[in-house]
Structure 1
Amino acid sequence: MSTTAEASVHNPRYREVRKVTVVGTVVDFVLGVAKIVIGWIAHSEALVADGVHSLSDLATDFVVLYAARHSHMDADEDHPYGHGRIETLATVGLGIMLILVSFGIAWDAVSRIGVPDLLFTPGALALVVAFLSVLSKEALYQYTVNVARRLKSNMLMANAWHHRSDAISSIVVFIGVAGAMMGYHYLDAVAAVVVAVMIAKIGLDLVLSSTRELIDTALEPELVEAISDVITHVNGVRALHMLRTRRSGGRALVDLHLQVDPRISVSEGHQIGDTVRRKLLEKFDEVTDVTVHIDPEDDETESPCDHLPLREELVERLRTQWSEMASIDSEDITLHYLSGKLQVDVALPFSVLDQYDDPVQLVQQIERSAKTIPEIEHVQVCFRA
C-alpha cells in the first residue's frame, strides 16, 4: 500500500464515510435480496423493481467506499490539489447508474401494462416487506444525511438520497401492491413506473450538480459573500478583487488578489496574506486551500505596468545617467511600479556628502537625470547612515 493510501485510511473524515457506508451496505444487501425473493414469491413486479433499486444502492455503496478511500489521499506531485475530484466523478457515476436502472425498470413495467395477461396479483407478504423497507431505508437516509452535512460531502449526500429514493419508492410499492390486492392489478406495474421516474430524477440531479463541480463552478453566493467579508476585515487589506472559488469533492478551494499599501515591505505584505489565509481556514471548515496574491493596486481589468522594465535593465540605465555623479549601488534603489509608471527611491549613505559641497545640488541632479528616462514619474532621494 502506498504512503498516501495509508494516510487516507487513517484520515478521520474517511473513517466516518466508511462507517456510514458499511452500515448502508449491510442494510441494502439484506433488503435487496428480501425484496427480490419475496417479490418473486408474492408476484409483485413493483417489489422486485424496488429490490433491484436496493441492490443498485449496494453497488453504489462499493463505489462510495472506493472513491472515499482514494479521494482522501494526500496531495502529491501529480495531484497538487489533492484527489477530491475522485469523489466528484464517483457522484456522477452514481447518478448515471440510477438513470440506467430507472430505464430498465420502467421498460419492463410499461411492457406489462400493455399486456393484461402479464400483470400479477401480489400477496400480503409483499405488503409487509414494502412497509419494513420504508422504515429501514428512511432511518438509513437520516443517518447518512446527518454525516454528509457534517462532513460537507456531496458524494455521501448523493448516497443518502439514494437511500431516501428507496424509502419513497417503497411507499409507492406499498400503495401499488395494496391496490393490486384489491383488484386493480395494473397498479403494481404503475407503481414500478413511478419508482423508475423518481430514481431517474434523482440520478439526473446528481449528474448535473457534480458536473457543475467538474467545470469549476463557484461556491454558493452566500458562502462567497461570507468569505469576502472575512478577508476585507483583516487589518492591512485595502481592497479585494479576483476572488475565485471552486469545489473539489468535499473541499473548497479559494484564490484571491489582495490590494495592500504599495509602500510596505514585501514581508509585511506576505504577513497580511498569511493572516487572510489562516482566518479563512479557521472560519470555514470546507475551505482547505487558499492562494493569496498580493497587489499594490487593482489589476483586475488590466495590468498597467506590463510594459515597464525590470530592475536589472532599469538600474543599468540609471547608472548611465548617474555615471558622473555619486557611485550608487543597486541595493540603494527601491522601485515602485504604480499606475503604469515607476517611482524610484534612492537611499544614499552620508559618506557621499563628503564628495560634494552642496548636497541639495546633488539631489537635484540625481532627480533631474533620472527623470530623463520616460518610464520614471517620480524620484525621491534620502540619506542613510
Structure 2
Amino acid sequence: MPTATRLNLSAGIASVVTALLLVALKLWALGETQSLSVAASLADSALDLMMSLGALAAILYAARPPDDDHAFGHTAAEDLAALGQAVFILASAGVIAFAAIGRLTAADPVPLAAEGRGIVAMTLSIILTLALVLWQRGVAARTGNRVVRADSLHYLGDLLPNLGAILALWASAQFGLVRLDAAIALAAACMLAVGAAGIGKDAWDALMDRAAAPEVIARIETLARTQPGIHGFHDLKTRRSGSRLFINLHVELDGAQSLDAAHAIGAALKHAILAEFPGTDIIIHFDPVRDSGDHR
C-alpha cells in the first residue's frame, strides 16, 4: 500500500475514533451539567462522527486501483466527499449562527449546573480534538488529500465552540453569565463558512477538470524547457482528481534519433516531474521537432 494511502487511512481512522470518544465524553458532561452549550457541542460531535465515517469510506474507495470501468482510478471520490463535507459545514455554520443569535437575544437564558465537571470534560475534548487536527494537517500537507483537509477544518471549527462552552461554564459559575458562548459560537460559524467555501471551490474545480494552479503549470513548463534533448513542447494539459495530479504533454524531439534515445529523454522528464510532484499521473507524447507547431 502506498505511503500516501496509509497516511490518509490513518487520518480517517483517527478521526472516527476521536469522534467516538468525544461523543461519549460529552454525553457524560451533558448529564452532569444540563448545559445547552455542551448539548450543542455534543450534537456537533455526533455529526462529526457521521462525517468522519463518510470520509473514511471515501478514502478507502479512492485508494482502489484503476480497473476496466475507472481507468484513471477512483480519486474523484475524494472530491465528491469534500464537496459534500463543504455543504454540510456551511449548513452547520448557518445553524450555529442562528442558535447563537437566538441565545444572545433570549430574555431568560437557561441556567447551568455542575460547571466544574463540564469544564474538565470540555478541556479533555479540546485536547483530543487538537491532537487530531494536528495529525490531519500533517497528513494533508504530505498527501494533498482534500477529504482529510475538509475533516481537519471541521474539527478545527469545533475548538472555538468548545472553548466557548468552557468560558460559558466558568462565567456561569463565577458571575452567573450564560450568554458568553453565543458570541464565540457566532465567530466560529463565520470561520467555518469561509473555510468551507474554499474547500468546496477546490473540490468543484477538480470535478470540473480545472487546470492545476498557475505555479504548478509554470514549474512543469520550466522542467520541460530545461530538460536536455527536448527542443520544445506544446499541448500541456493538467487537471486534478482528489489528491492526484494528471499531466498530458507533447514534447518535441530530434526525429532522427533512435526510439531508445527518445524514450530515455521522456523518462528523464517524467522522473523530474515526479520528483517535484510525487504520485502524479503523466502521459508524454513524442513529436519530431520538424513537424511540431508551437515551440516554447
Coordinate RMSD, CA, aligned: 2.6
1:211 aligns with 2:216: no
Which structure carries more helix by proportion? 2
Distance 2:32 2:99 in 1: 18
CA distance in 2, matches of 1:120, 1:110: 18
- Bigger relative contact order, structure 1 or 2, given CA contacts below 8 A and separation 6+? 2
Q: Verify the 8 A CA contact 1:137 1:164 in the aligned structure 2.
A: yes
Of 265, 273, 277, the residue aligned with 1:272 is: 265
User: Is this contact kept in 1: 2:79–2:206, CA < 8 A?
Assistant: yes
| Structure 1 residues 295 and 158: CA distance shift in structure 2, 3 A | farther
Aligned with 2:183 (options 168, 172, 190): 190
1:91-124 deviations in whole A, cap 9, x for unaligned? 1111112222222333334334333224433523
Deviates more, 1:221-230 or 1:92-101: 221-230
Bigger drift between 191-200 and 152-161 goes to 191-200
Q: Distance in 2 between matches of 1:56 and 1:292?
A: 48
Which residue of the other structure, out of 83, 89, 96, is the alignment partner of 2:80? 89
2:108 aligned with 1:114? no
Quote the Cα distance in structure 2 between the aligned partners of 1:40 and 1:105: 22
Structure 1 residue matching 2:278: 3-state secondary structure: coil
Q: Is the 8 A contact 2:234 2:249 kept in 1?
A: yes
Matched, 1:49 2:40: yes
1:27 corresponds in structure 2 to 18
Per-residue displacement from partner, 1:157-191 (whole Å, max 9, x unpaired)? 22222222222332233233333442332223333
Aligned residues: 292
Letter in 2 for 1:91: A
**Which residue of 2 is the match for residue 341 of structure 1?**
none
Task: Please identify which structure carries the higher strand content.
Answer: 1
Label 1:265 to 1:18 Cα distance change in 2 as closer, same or farther (>3 A): closer
Q: After superposition, where does 1:75-224 map in structure 2 within 5 Å? A: 75-121=66-112, 123-181=115-173, 182-224=175-217
Q: Is the 8 A contact 1:95 1:206 kept in 2?
A: yes
Return the TM-score normalized by structure 1. Answer: 0.68
Q: 1:168 to 1:153 in 2, by over 3 A?
A: same
**1:169, 1:198 within 8 Å by CA — same for their partners in 2?**
no
Q: What do the CA deviations read for 1:317-366 (whole angstroms, capped 9, x no partner)?
A: xxxxxxxxxxxxxxxxxxxxxxxxxxxxxxxxxxxxxxxxxxxxxxxxxx
- Matching residue of 1:309: none
**1:335 maps to which residue?**
none
**Residue equivalent to 1:292:** 285
Larger radius of gyration: 1
Once the two structures are TM-superposed, the CA of residue 269 in structure 1 deviates from its matched residue by: 4.1
Point out where structure 1 has 5 or more consecutive residues left out of the alignment: 1-9, 302-385
Shift of 1:90: 0.8
